[in-house]
Amino acid sequence: MSMASTDALVLERSANPNEPSHSRIYWLLTLMVFFWSLNYVMGKIALREFPPVLLATFRTAIAGVVILPLYLLRRRHASKWNFREGLLLLVLGVGGVALNQVFFVLGLSRTSVAHSAILIGLTPVQVLLLAAITGQEKLTWRKVVGLVVALAGVGVLQLTHESARGPSILGDVFILLCGLSLAVYTVFGKEVSARHDAITMNTFAYVGGAIVLSPAIVWNARHFDFTAVSASAWLSVAYMAVFSSVVSYLIYNYALSRIAASRVSAFSYLQPVFASIMGVAFLGESLGAPVIAGGAVILTGVYLAERG
């Protein structure tokens, strides 16, 4: 299916009076961003008691357990797929969703909420670059300027790596990989999401991710005392698996099948603001001048790139 036919399908759905209005989709995307923003705080709480790899893989497995019954209950109404399409859904889901969440937890364990959220804000730029590489977008000089400004903001942000206990470069790299995996999912999942419903997409992502990551789960859980985990940590893991994983990605795929991918990814602008405020309010994190300046420059670059 070509991008032109995909856009035509989106326009056709938007014109259908039985389809939800764009304003309703935007409200759902705002709710999704709120869930994802609070996820940084919940992740930090869970990481106080869970090892990063175990938390990342265990979260994916729980999400798979939650989404599978939903898929089975409505399998008669679910989109049809053959072996080749199923393999595509599996690769796309594991690479774009499951790995996204693994990289997120690994990065969050090594850097601050503000760093994580600001670097995730670069996702629209990564989407733009991938779209340009695949021929879906053309790079104008304005977009190139925006990319350069965003990268300069990343450089400013690195000025906060002052101590071993503070944000680390490795943590920031993991967060950038997290955004890249979501960008891959956004660009290459656009056509697939037009053929399949959100529950089918997420079932392949989380159930497939749980199967692929099961060796890591077993290996990291073999000496871990689950009975010693506090209620707050369990609630944080449950939140990460249900709200920031299943519910948020259902909204993401739902929106991706109805409006342009660039509009969906543009909601990343809100995440650094929401998450940074929550990090200060709930975790007592501080926002130094380099963080504020770097975040402002990055978001300015992202804005310029998208408006170019």
DSSP 96: I
Q: Which residue has the tokens 């529950």?
A: 199
Joined tokens for residue 202: 């997420």
Confidence band, pLDDT 50/70/90 cuts, at residue 78: confident
Q: Per mean pLDDT, which range of 32-41, 59-68, 245-254 is the poorest?
A: 245-254
Calpha distance 273→138 (Å, rounded): 29
How many C-beta neighbours within 10 Å does residue 92 have? 20
On average, the pLDDT of the chain sits at 84
Q: Per mean pLDDT, which range of 51-65, 163-177, 189-203, 224-238 is the poorest?
A: 163-177
Joined tokens for residue 231: 């209620």
Above pLDDT 70, what percent of the chain? 88
pLDDT digits (tens, 9 = 90+) for 207-231: 999 999 999 999 999 999 999 999 9
Question: What would the mean pLDDT of 227-247 be, rounded to a whole number?
Answer: 95
Is the predicted pLDDT of residue 10 greater than 60, yes or no? no
Q: What is the 3-state secondary structure (H, E, C) of 242-298?
A: HHHHHHHHHHHHHHHCCCCHHHHHHHHHHHHHHHHHHHHHHHCCCCCHHHHHHHHHH
Calpha distance 115→46 (Å, rounded): 18
Q: What pLDDT is stored for residue 207 in this prediction?
A: 93
pLDDT digits (tens, 9 = 90+) for 186-204: 888 877 877 888 888 889 9
Instruction: Please name the helix (run of DSSP H) or strand (run of DSSP E) that holds residue 149, with its range, or none.
Output: helix 141-157
Q: What pLDDT is stored for residue 134 in this prediction?
A: 85
Confidence band, pLDDT 50/70/90 cuts, at residue 252: confident
- CA angle (215, 219, 224) in 5-degree steps: 140
How many C-beta neighbours within 10 Å does residue 51 have? 16
How many C-beta neighbours within 10 Å does residue 219 have? 12
Q: What pLDDT is stored for residue 20 in this prediction?
A: 57
Above pLDDT 90, what percent of the chain? 37
**From the centroid of its chain, how far is CA 69?**
23
Question: What would the mean pLDDT of 34-39 be, rounded to a whole number?
Answer: 94
Q: What pLDDT is stored for residue 229 in this prediction?
A: 96
How many C-beta neighbours within 10 Å does residue 158 have? 14
Is the predicted pLDDT of residue 2 greater than 60, yes or no? no
Instruction: Please name the helix (run of DSSP H) or strand (run of DSSP E) that holds residue 230, with its range, or none.
Output: none
Is the predicted pLDDT of residue 308 greater than 60, yes or no? yes
pLDDT digits (tens, 9 = 90+) for 138-155: 888 888 888 888 888 887
Helix (H, G, I), strand (E, B) or coil at 5: helix
Question: What would the mean pLDDT of 82-102 be, rounded to a whole number?
Answer: 88
User: Under 8 Å CB-to-CB from 104, ≥6 apart: which residues?
Assistant: 43, 56, 116, 174, 175, 178
Question: What would the mean pLDDT of 228-238 be, rounded to a whole number?
Answer: 96
Calpha distance 137→261 (Å, rounded): 12
- CA angle (233, 44, 250) in 5-degree steps: 80
Is the predicted pLDDT of residue 9 greater than 50, yes or no? no
Select from 233, 307, 257 the least CA-distant residue to 12. Answer: 257
Question: Domain range holding 169?
Answer: 3-307
Q: Could you give the number of structural domains in the chain?
A: 1
73 neighbors 218 (Cβ within 8 angstroms): no
